[in-house]
């Protein structure tokens, strides 16, 4: 997998504090941090009690079944946990950890409560350092990507005044399901509209009470006012699906579709029309065990838009199974998804880069870079913009990068496996290694 930081437990971020405690000079770890870190290792080994170790806020965000699934994925890749190899306190309640495993080390951050019993309130698995051999070149990374089950695709290109110049690639023109990376196109339409003077980042959307998928705005009252800037940041940085659907339908589905060729989504373009919202996708995949989606797919493309605006819209959210996706089984990822090739993603990132000097530029740079995706692996870069996407059987990562030499690059890769979930740890480790190797020296 390589020595690369990989955000393997993305959902664990939800349980971490929105604003970490300020760093302080700490000469030695507080005993309670050591105690709870050791208890975490014991829990990862299969002993200990989940409800006792984690605070209610954490357990609400990450149910035990979900935590166990993530833990199993780590153990499959790294073997059994052994001990805390290193604990570096940031303050009495917050520390970075190196958790030893039989075949590597997991980097993590832990936050505990400030009162007894000092339960864990935040945990972030940041990535793995494999003890096995790592790729010495990007070509070596691609060779390892090719061994992953399913279909893998990858592109690294240098960006300049002309079209992106490919550097290294694998199946770079092959459209694959990309999950939430489709949100780059919505961001591009927002940027276009701001540059055209149609709206400003500070303009607000007033919620009209329409149903929304899960996210920060799903339970907000009708009449709530939200700035476009806030919606865009949440859509990109934490992949908030409620923010995504608000933006898509306020900007206009057809306006977003019109941006597909503009930003370079050409390899996968025909399969992205009509351009689905997140809630629509969940309904098509989940309602009546996929029967709603089967009706949609059986229709001629010209009839699908009316179906989305009628029967799909009118289907209540309650009809979506609460356990949708929880069993890790891929659901029609080759038919019901958003599609793009690595080259499509590279071109879209390049379009966004070219507009960073325009009227929307400063906020665009900030929105795209708030979540760097793989923070340790991208330390060799001056600027990192990122958007990823996933569902069972789908994993995509796309980076807009500026080297410390000032030159710009884009890197995009993904895996689709219709038979099983993607090995997130292995894939993100390989992408992280590619990021390390690609950084200009």
Around Cβ 141, how many Cβ atoms within 10 Å? 29
Angle at 365 between CA 367 and CA 258, to 5 degrees: 75
- Residue 344 CA to residue 265 CA, distance in Å, equals 5
In which order are the strands placed within the sheet that holds 120-130? 3-4, 120-130, 104-112, 94-101, 81-91
* Contact present, 198 and 187 (Cβ < 8 Å): no
Q: Compute φ and ψ for 114, nearest 5 degrees.
A: -95, 10
Around Cβ 230, how many Cβ atoms within 10 Å? 18
Position 29 scores a pLDDT of 64
Position 368 scores a pLDDT of 99
Position 70 scores a pLDDT of 85
Position 202 scores a pLDDT of 98
Environment class of 401 (CB within 10 Å of its CB; exposed 0-12, middle 13-18, buried 19+): buried
Query: What residue ranges do the domains of the chain occupy?
Result: 3-130, 138-438
Environment class of 419 (CB within 10 Å of its CB; exposed 0-12, middle 13-18, buried 19+): exposed
Instruction: Provide CATH code, domain 138-438.
Output: 3.40.710.10
Helical pair 64-78 and 424-438, crossing angle rounded to 10 deg: 60
DSSP 252-287: -HHHHHHHHHHHT--SSGGGG-S---HHHHHHHHHG
* Contact present, 106 and 128 (Cβ < 8 Å): yes
- Residue 236 CA to residue 187 CA, distance in Å, equals 8
Rounded (to 5) percent helix, strand, coil in the chain: 40, 20, 35
| Cα dihedral across residues 78, 81, 84, 85: positive or negative | negative
- Residue 123 CA to residue 387 CA, distance in Å, equals 22
DSSP 162: S
- Residue 372 CA to residue 63 CA, distance in Å, equals 26
* Contact present, 415 and 151 (Cβ < 8 Å): yes
The secondary structure element, H or E, covering residue 153 is: strand 151-159
Position 69 scores a pLDDT of 84
Position 424 scores a pLDDT of 84
Find out whether the peptide bond into 234 is cis, omega within 30 degrees of 0: no
20-55 residues labelled b (16+ CB within 10 A) or e (exposed) = eeeeeeeeebbebbeebbebbbebbeeeeeeeebbb
- Residue 189 CA to residue 111 CA, distance in Å, equals 38
| Cα dihedral across residues 154, 104, 110, 25: positive or negative | negative
Q: Compute φ and ψ for 43, nearest 5 degrees.
A: -65, -40
What is the block-wise mean pLDDT of the chain (441 residues), using blocks of 10 residues?
33 36 51 95 95 93 88 86 93 92 89 95 80 86 96 99 98 98 99 98 98 94 98 96 98 98 94 98 98 98 96 98 90 98 99 96 98 90 98 97 98 98 88 96 86
* Contact present, 412 and 184 (Cβ < 8 Å): no
């Amino acid at each position: 997998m390589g020595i690369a930081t990989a955000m393997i437990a993305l959902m664990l971020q939800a349980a971490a504090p929105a604003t970490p405690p300020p760093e302080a000079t700490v000469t030695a770890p507080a005993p309670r941090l050591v105690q709870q870190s050791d208890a975490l290792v014991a829990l990862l080994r299969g002993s200990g009690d989940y409800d006792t170790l984690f605070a209610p806020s954490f357990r609400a965000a990450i149910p035990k079944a979900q935590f166990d699934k993530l833990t199993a994925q780590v153990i499959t890749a790294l073997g059994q946990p052994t001990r805390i190899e290193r604990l570096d306190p940031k303050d009495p309640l917050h520390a970075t950890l190196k958790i030893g495993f039989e075949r590597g080390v997991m980097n993590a951050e832990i936050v505990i409560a400030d009162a007894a019993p000092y339960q864990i309130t935040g945990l972030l698995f940041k990535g793995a350092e494999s003890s096995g051999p790592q790729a010495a070149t990007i070509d070596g990374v691609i060779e390892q990507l090719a061994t992953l089950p399913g279909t893998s695709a990858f592109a690294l290109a240098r960006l300049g005044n002309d079209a992106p110049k490919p550097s290294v690639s694998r199946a770079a023109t092959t459209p694959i399901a990309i999950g939430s990376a489709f949100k780059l196109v919505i961001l591009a339409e927002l940027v276009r509209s701001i540059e055209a003077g149609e709206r400003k980042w500070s303009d607000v959307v007033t919620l009209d009470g329409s149903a929304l998928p899960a996210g920060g705005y799903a339970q907000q009252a009708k009449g709530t006012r939200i700035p476009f800037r806030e919606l865009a940041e949440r859509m990109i940085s934490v992949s908030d699906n409620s923010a995504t659907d608000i933006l898509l339908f306020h900007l206009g589905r057809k306006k977003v579709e019109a941006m597909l060729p503009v930003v370079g989504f050409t390899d996968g373009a025909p399969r992205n029309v009509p351009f689905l919202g997140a809630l629509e996708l969940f309904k098509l995949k989940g309602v009546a065990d996929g029967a709603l989606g089967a009706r949609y797919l059986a229709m001629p493309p010209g009839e699908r838009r009316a179906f989305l605006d009628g029967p799909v819209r009118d289907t209540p959210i309650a009809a979506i199974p609460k356990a949708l996706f929880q069993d890790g089984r891929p659901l029609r990822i080759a038919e019901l998804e958003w599609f793009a090739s690595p080259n499509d993603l590279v071109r879209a990132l390049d379009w966004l880069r070219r507009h960073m000097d325009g009227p929307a530029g400063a906020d665009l740079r900030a929105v795209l870079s708030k979540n760097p995706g793989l923070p340790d692996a991208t330390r060799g870069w001056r600027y990192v913009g990122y958007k990823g996407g996933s569902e069972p059987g789908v994993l995509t990562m796309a980076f807009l990068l500026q080297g410390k030499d000032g030159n710009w690059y884009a890197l995009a890769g993904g895996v689709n496996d219709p038979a099983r979930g993607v090995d997130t740890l292995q894939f993100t480790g390989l992408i992280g290694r590619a990021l390390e190797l690609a950084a200009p020296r």
